Structure 1
């Protein structure tokens, strides 16, 4: 996914994508810049003189973080600290947002999870995110900078890659509907997650940098749905019975995982007045419509 620009409340936000590269004209021959290289970070910050910095750079696949734990550590963890350190030295008045993750909670069974819930990550991705999150707190205390961490639960949109189950279900169902696939293989159907629309969460992210005092917030809908519920909702929208097409495949079941991840966003609702605008049903409609359009196109071209 390339750099996204959100014209939000009349303010242009540049949000760096999850491919770990920031495309900036003139900073390298091919227009690509590896975010973990501090020397390039200095150049970017010095020349752009940002007022707000949003760090979303990270490999997001939990499974991939097991195969490449060093990459998760260096990009997700150390890369965030490199960027924060440059901000402190080059642009101390800038406001810094760190994209933290519900994966930091890991094995903690308590639901819903809030800013005070203990964190015990169970994968390299979650551990790297927690390191970056804690360093944001340390830098905030040590240097008195405006740095915050947004603990986001599952953010979904049609732009999601299909490594993530909501997207995988929507894509698979649409392909079944169009006769491109006969079945969809998934892992644990009982796993419960707090799924929200990414566009709503971007609003929360922006609001976090507009207040006078820097604080960390959980960003979530507060409502959990199982993978099976997502399957039922998605396939039903296409007039299909998911039980006829969805097959459980052990290879997609994580060895270590939390069965339920639901966020408590009462703090951000109370202090910033933020509420998710998109319902679960609307999110399902959005995802299915996008995937059905793509599946129809593939059907026509096949």
Structure 2
């Protein structure tokens, strides 16, 4: 009997937070995983180094290809070579505040990049299923709370506008060309692998560094903004589940709870026995030109159709991130002391 060939998945943005967790999940399911990375003079594969290093031990099949979503011909070439069963489009300029500083690049990567990928899949004629990473930021100035798959969009940043474009192009290619293309409207999802400029990781990094005497203060923007925060490891499972269904549909993925930035500050600093008010200062440069005040998702459809529910709680997420960043801060302290630098402590 001929052995069944493993499924092939192609992940754009594999070196990011979501890409690394998704690669872990798919490799655990026996997939052959291919990732697209941009050529750089420095290595940016830290989040997936453990997967690449362990592949000789576990037998996992993982391959990386140079490419960029803004290069449509390059996308066609990779697709034709890999012939993936599933494509997960996670690549993006994903920082909302930065999108105001680099709006044109954000649109090129997040909107036209998605268009290039969809068109490349259509042009190659491959029977590929595609997942598009949509965002709760598309709701922006929300029309209703909680937000569902039917809530109208009112984007409030160049990033969100680009994601709305990609959302509707994904729907259009599904309806016009009968492609299996779905949008996952994911609300905020965090982890110890989150980039350090994103608000949750910025807080846990700063708080643990303050605890170890490596930093004196944390400068923040709007503390009243409320978000629906979950764990990235939970959310990538929902991505996979969306591509396993008989019918392609769009889904909201969220916890159904909302917490303010200040609440996250309070939980993190209290875990370190610190009073956040003594160290946190507000700086106007971190405020957005147009704020999104409240995001709260209703994942009822995902729970019913996909059988998906989040496992990690808000406090559990904060605990996880503090634990990881505290270990990192302790290592930084040891290095600083070995170099003869004077380091204080908030113990």
Same fold, TM-score > 0.5, yes or no: yes
Distance 1:89 1:17 in 2: 19
1:113 aligned onto 2:147: yes
Computed over aligned residues only, the root mean square deviation of the Cα atoms, in angstroms, reads 2.1
How much does 1:7 deviate? 3.4
SS at match of 1:54: strand
1:279 aligned onto 2:313: yes
Distance 2:37 2:193 in 1: 12
66, 70, 79: which one aligns with 2:104: 70
Spell out, residue by residue over 1:15-71, the C-alpha distance to the aligned partner (whole angstroms, 9 max, x if none). Answer: 857979999xxxxxx963222111111110001000000001111111221222111
Distance 1:214 1:251 in 2: 42
How much does 1:250 deviate? 1.9
Corresponding residue number in structure 2 for 1:48: 82
How much does 1:135 deviate? 0.4
Going from structure 1 to structure 2, the CA distance change for 1:206 and 1:234 (only over 3 Å counts) comes to: same
SS at match of 1:7: helix
How much does 1:182 deviate? 1.4
Going from structure 1 to structure 2, the CA distance change for 1:207 and 1:15 (only over 3 Å counts) comes to: farther
- What is the correspondence of 1:283-302 to structure 2 with a 5 Å cutoff? 283-302=317-336
Corresponding residue number in structure 2 for 1:259: 293
1:58 aligned onto 2:92: yes
Distance 2:210 2:237 in 1: 34
Give the number of aligned pairs. Answer: 296
Spell out, residue by residue over 1:203-238, the C-alpha distance to the aligned partner (whole angstroms, 9 max, x if none). Answer: 000000000000000111110011111011001111
Corresponding residue number in structure 2 for 1:6: 24
Where does the alignment leave 5 or more consecutive residues of structure 1 unmatched? 24-29
Corresponding residue number in structure 1 for 2:123: 89
How much does 1:97 deviate? 0.3
Corresponding residue number in structure 1 for 2:282: 248
Does the CA-based 8 Å contact 2:142-2:294 persist in structure 1?
A: no
Corresponding residue number in structure 2 for 1:26: none
Distance 1:200 1:249 in 2: 33
Where does the alignment leave 5 or more consecutive residues of structure 2 unmatched? 1-14, 46-63, 337-347
Q: TM-score, normalised by structure 2?
A: 0.81
Who wins on radius of gyration, i.e. which is larger? 2
Corresponding residue number in structure 2 for 1:127: 161
Q: TM-score, normalised by structure 1?
A: 0.93
How much does 1:89 deviate? 2.2
Stretch deviating more after TM superposition (35-44 or 202-211):
35-44
1:230 aligned onto 2:248: no
Distance 2:34 2:282 in 1: 36
Distance 2:65 2:163 in 1: 27
Does the CA-based 8 Å contact 1:167-1:287 persist in structure 2?
A: yes
Distance 2:95 2:318 in 1: 22
Distance 1:45 1:212 in 2: 23
1:204 aligned onto 2:238: yes
Distance 1:11 1:65 in 2: 37
